[in-house]
Amino acid sequence: MGFEPQAKAGLAEEIVRKMRDAMGAENLDALLPMSPDNLAYTAGTVPPSLRTVRLRLAACVIPYEGETEAVVVALEGPLMATQSRMAKTTTYREFAENAVEKVASSLKQRGLDGGRIGIEATYLPVAFHSTLQNCLPGAELVPADELLSEIRSLKSAREIEMIRDIGTAAQRIAEECAARIQSGATEQDLGGLIAEEYAAAGGDELTMLVVGSGERSAHPNAPPTDRVMVSGEIVRLDIIGTKHNYYSDVARTAVVGEPSREQQEIYDLLMRVHEQSLEALRPGVQTSDVYRIYKESMERAGLPPYHFVGHGLGVTLHEEPFINEFKSVQIRENMVLCIEPLTMLEDRFGMQIEDEVVITSDGYEPITRAGAMLQIDG
């Protein structure tokens, strides 16, 4: 699926409108997304050096009324000017100019130096926060982290289309690569094939790829190694990556050759838990209730429950809502969720089934759908 300029502009309008609706409800005059996650969501791109040079500040200035703006270091200016969804790009000279003062200047020019400004309190360093407050002594700096998370949790039709595009590709890649690889190949052989196909599907990058065979399949985040996959072993796959900044997160369980009776029985039990957890999804249900259903299903199956069974998916891999017993959030239409029951038998094997779904008006619609255990050299 291509992401054409017209669609890019439309998504920008949708996101800014959502932000302004939320700002109006919270009586905010401006929002300042600054973290890589929220820059990806708001601007549609992240200055590449921001992820490696933490103090090279970048920000979006989203006023309740008026022109949107990106503020970035000068060397990232051309990239942001051509790829950002913001109406305007302003740059600062590294070392010669203070980035926070540049952001404050933008707010002053808009007459917002006495306004309520939403900031990412959990991301903004203390020194930057102090500078911003000193530059805007009449402003009220309001933590807006939860507000931004809530805005991002409800996806537009365009966002759902983008997540569906790379999610269905990840599912296809897992199935096809498992079928193409042979016993005697290494985890890296399989991982390389997956990476090649992910790039061919238009993926930006594989941010994390799990290929764990044998006892390594019970290691939660096992990267592919030169370990040879042998007949009778479980291989656990988790394909995590992005396309147009939106994530795929699809996990599958495979077996080299034919599964043992025990392996098949455990997989069937896990699949039943997966289906029962999915059936609980609909608007108005609390995430804690979904977790309770998952936990009870695992216990009936004789499997130890994990501390969570799912999460939101978007421009970050794990975002609100989280489906666990520690926090309860109401599930709402247009959320995109991952449901991922897993079981890890230490020093033996691990199994995981993870699907992406969209919450609809009366339930859920699958983006991906797990089936039988995948077979390698079957």
Same structural domain, 135 and 29 = yes
Same structural domain, 370 and 271 = yes
Which CATH number belongs to the domain containing residue 176 in this structure?
3.90.230.10
Same structural domain, 183 and 291 = yes
Distance, in Å, from the CA atom of 76 to the CA atom of 260, rounded to the nearest integer, reads 55
In three-state secondary structure terms, 142 is strand
The DSSP secondary structure of 278-312, one letter per residue, reads: HHT--TT-BHHHHHHHHHHHHHHHT-PPPSEEEEE
Helix (H) or strand (E) holding 276: helix 261-279
Which CATH number belongs to the domain containing residue 64 in this structure?
3.40.350.10
Same structural domain, 96 and 161 = no
Distance, in Å, from the CA atom of 209 to the CA atom of 170, rounded to the nearest integer, reads 11
Q: Which of 152, 178, 200 is at the close of a domain?
A: 152
Contact indicator for 58, 44 with CB cutoff of 8 Å: no
Same structural domain, 267 and 369 = yes
- Token digits of residue 85: 């969804």
Amino acid at 286: Q
Q: Tens digits of per-residue pLDDT, 102-146?
A: 999 999 999 999 999 999 999 999 999 999 999 999 999 999 999
Contact indicator for 84, 93 with CB cutoff of 8 Å: no
Same structural domain, 145 and 227 = no
| Own/partner long-range contacts of 358-361 (Cβ < 8 Å, ≥24 apart) | 358/155, 358/160, 358/164, 358/334, 359/281, 359/282, 359/283, 359/331, 359/332, 359/333, 359/334, 359/335, 360/333, 361/283, 361/333
Distance, in Å, from the CA atom of 23 to the CA atom of 216, rounded to the nearest integer, reads 47
Same structural domain, 117 and 264 = no
* Residues in the chain, total: 378
In three-state secondary structure terms, 62 is strand
Nearest to 250 by CA among 151, 153, 359, 177: 177
Rounded-to-10 torsion of CA 354, 311, 152, 54:
-100
pLDDT score for 6: 43
Same structural domain, 118 and 187 = no
Residue ranges of the alpha helices (H) in 205-244?
Answer: none
96-130 burial, b for 16+ CB within 10 Å, e for fewer? eebbbebbbbbbeebebbebbbbbbeeebeeebee
Q: Which of 152, 187, 203 is at the close of a domain?
A: 152
Give the pTM.
Answer: 0.94
Same structural domain, 146 and 182 = no
DSSP-derived letter for residue 257 is S
Distance, in Å, from the CA atom of 279 to the CA atom of 366, rounded to the nearest integer, reads 11
pLDDT score for 7: 52
Distance spanning both ends of the chain, measured CA to CA: 32
pLDDT in tens, the chain (378 residues): 444 444 556 788 999 999 999 999 999 999 999 999 999 999 999 999 998 998 899 999 999 999 999 999 999 999 999 999 999 999 999 999 999 999 999 999 999 999 999 999 999 999 999 999 999 999 999 999 999 999 999 999 999 999 999 999 999 999 999 999 988 899 999 999 999 999 999 999 999 999 999 999 999 999 999 999 999 999 999 999 999 999 999 999 999 999 999 999 999 999 999 999 999 999 999 999 999 999 999 999 999 999 999 999 999 999 999 999 999 999 999 999 999 999 999 999 999 999 999 999 999 999 999 999 999 985
Same structural domain, 221 and 365 = yes
Distance, in Å, from the CA atom of 318 to the CA atom of 315, rounded to the nearest integer, reads 9
Q: Which of 126, 152, 178 is at the close of a domain?
A: 152
From the CB of residue 146, how many other CB atoms can be counted at a distance below 10 Å?
Answer: 11
**Residue-number span of the structural domain to which 317 is assigned:** 157-376
Backbone angles phi, psi at 276, to 5 degrees: -65, -35
- Token digits of residue 294: 């998952």
Distance, in Å, from the CA atom of 111 to the CA atom of 197, rounded to the nearest integer, reads 51
Distance, in Å, from the CA atom of 334 to the CA atom of 349, rounded to the nearest integer, reads 35
Radius of gyration of the chain measured on its C-alpha atoms: 23
pLDDT score for 3: 46
Contact indicator for 62, 68 with CB cutoff of 8 Å: yes
Same structural domain, 256 and 184 = yes
pLDDT score for 18: 96
pLDDT score for 8: 57
Same structural domain, 148 and 12 = yes
Count of the separate structural domains present in the chain: 2
